[in-house]
Amino acid sequence: MRIYPYSLTPINFHFVQSARDFIVKEIPLYEWSNHGEHLVLQIRKKGLSTPEMIQILCDVLGCRHKEIGYAGLKDKNALTTQFISIPYSLYSKLKESQNILSQKNLKILSIHRHNNKIKIGHLKGNSFFIRLKKVLPQDLEKIYSILEKISTEGMPNYFGYQRFGKFGDNYLKGKKIAHGEKKLRDRSLSDFLISSYQSYLFNQWLSHRIKLCSILKNFSKQEAFRGIKKSLKIELTLDEIENLQGQKTFFKILDGDALHHYPFGKLFFLDKITQEESQRFYLHNIVPCGILDGQKITYPSKLALKFQEDFLDSKIQEAGSYRFAWVFPQRLQYRYIQEKAHLELSFELPKGSYATILLETLANQELSGESDV
């Protein structure tokens, strides 16, 4: 169960993840060089997943999957724009095939030459447009307040429902594979299911940390001492609680945390929290990170490790990594259309972050692809 930071009660609205109400555009990491042996295509797709789009390109252009590069996966139930690289040798075939591609819901918006093939992660982030329906006027004041907090204070970087499959149980299959209780011939599917299990553990850890932060925010030092001991099964000293409550941000940095320069830079570990590091987080210059557990990863230490231990699994043989625990949406704007009871949102998120988590943070409850919440 995911826990959210800014509301004690839920807000209800209707959200449909569709091409009309959910629009995603990739933000490239850098400008294209306009020379080289590759073509970078900016493609708008509708009703297609990224693998389905790649298969269409392979069929139409007569190339192999490994010749096509892409930076990230984009939702099927959305109108999405992303960048794809193909060999320059396919240019003539591409020009001849644009009508065919258009008939298959693929429209090429621009073409540039570039030195290298696009690889996973080669993007700055994504911009989003989302339309919410059945938004009640009496909820607007609270909605605007939460959106302002998200804009200035950030939001949790949970993995969204898309990560866990139609029935939300992919992580259970991944856990069985990691524990040697299940084996699949399809290595790609096996890796995907294990990554779903890693994502589940990350979400559980992040929810645990947000619960800590909620207690620190809403209770006195003495009450927080008792609440943390009872509900989180961890005993902090009164001095530790006082120091944590003194941080300006909702999400608290702990001694021993892994931190990352934001939005780009290096990962580093903080032995003991200082006022300087707390201020850097408050200014959006660094963020705490959580573990996607696996091999060859350095764990946090001290208090941060205490809050991490229950969400580690030494049986995961895949490589581990770190992920932002907290992100700061950029250019967040919103508009209420009273006659339709619609709320339109636009914003940008760093790569790997889910727009639907912003909606969940607003609603204070979990969503699915088509939800009355």
Q: Residue 370: pLDDT above 70?
A: no
197-245 confidence digits (pLDDT tens): 999 999 999 999 999 999 999 999 999 999 999 999 999 999 999 999 9
Q: Up-side HSE of residue 112: CA atoms within 13 Å toward CB?
A: 18
The rounded distance, in Å, linking the Cα atoms of 319 and 293 is 8
The rounded distance, in Å, linking the Cα atoms of 266 and 22 is 32
The rounded distance, in Å, linking the Cα atoms of 311 and 203 is 9
Superfamily (CATH) of domain 30-121: TruD, catalytic domain (3.30.2350.20)
Q: Could you identify the residue written with the tokens 């008792």?
A: 226
Structure tokens belonging to residue 312? 């580690």
The rounded distance, in Å, linking the Cα atoms of 370 and 373 is 9
Dihedral sign computed on CA atoms, order 174, 74, 202, 369: negative
Q: Residue 134: pLDDT above 50?
A: yes
The rounded distance, in Å, linking the Cα atoms of 173 and 179 is 10
Q: Residue 371: pLDDT above 70?
A: no
SS3 (DSSP) at 83 = strand
SS3 (DSSP) at 163 = helix
* Confidence band of 369 (pLDDT split at 50, 70, 90): low
Nearest partner of 202 among 166, 256, 160, 230, judged by Cα? 160
Superfamily (CATH) of domain 161-327: TruD, insertion domain (3.30.2340.10)
Nearest partner of 25 among 110, 111, 126, judged by Cα? 126
Contact criterion met (CB below 8 Å) for 328 and 358: no
Contact criterion met (CB below 8 Å) for 349 and 358: yes
Task: Please state whether beta strands 14-16 and 370-372 pair in parallel, antiparallel, or not at all (unpaired).
Answer: antiparallel
Same CATH topology for 30-121 and 161-327?
A: no
Q: Could you identify the residue written with the tokens 């696996």?
A: 294
Instruction: Give the distance from CA 281 to its chain's centroid.
Output: 19
Using alpha carbons, list the distances in angstroms from residue 336 to 143, 151, 358, 365, 372.
11, 17, 17, 21, 18
Asked if the peptide bond before residue 263 counts as cis, ω within 30 degrees of 0, the response is yes
What's residue 122's pLDDT? Answer: 85
* Confidence band of 372 (pLDDT split at 50, 70, 90): very low
Helix 221-231, helix 187-218: angle, nearest 10: 150
* Confidence band of 75 (pLDDT split at 50, 70, 90): confident
State the pTM of this model: 0.93
Per-domain boundaries in the chain: 14-19+134-154+336-372, 30-121, 161-327
What's residue 251's pLDDT? Answer: 98
Q: Express as a percent the part of the chain with pLDDT over 90.
A: 90
293-306 confidence digits (pLDDT tens): 999 999 999 999 99
Q: Residue 96: pLDDT above 90?
A: yes
Per DSSP, 77 falls in state S
* Confidence band of 22 (pLDDT split at 50, 70, 90): very high
What's residue 329's pLDDT? Answer: 98
Could you tell me which residues are beta bridge partners of residue 28? 123
Enzyme catalytic residues: 75
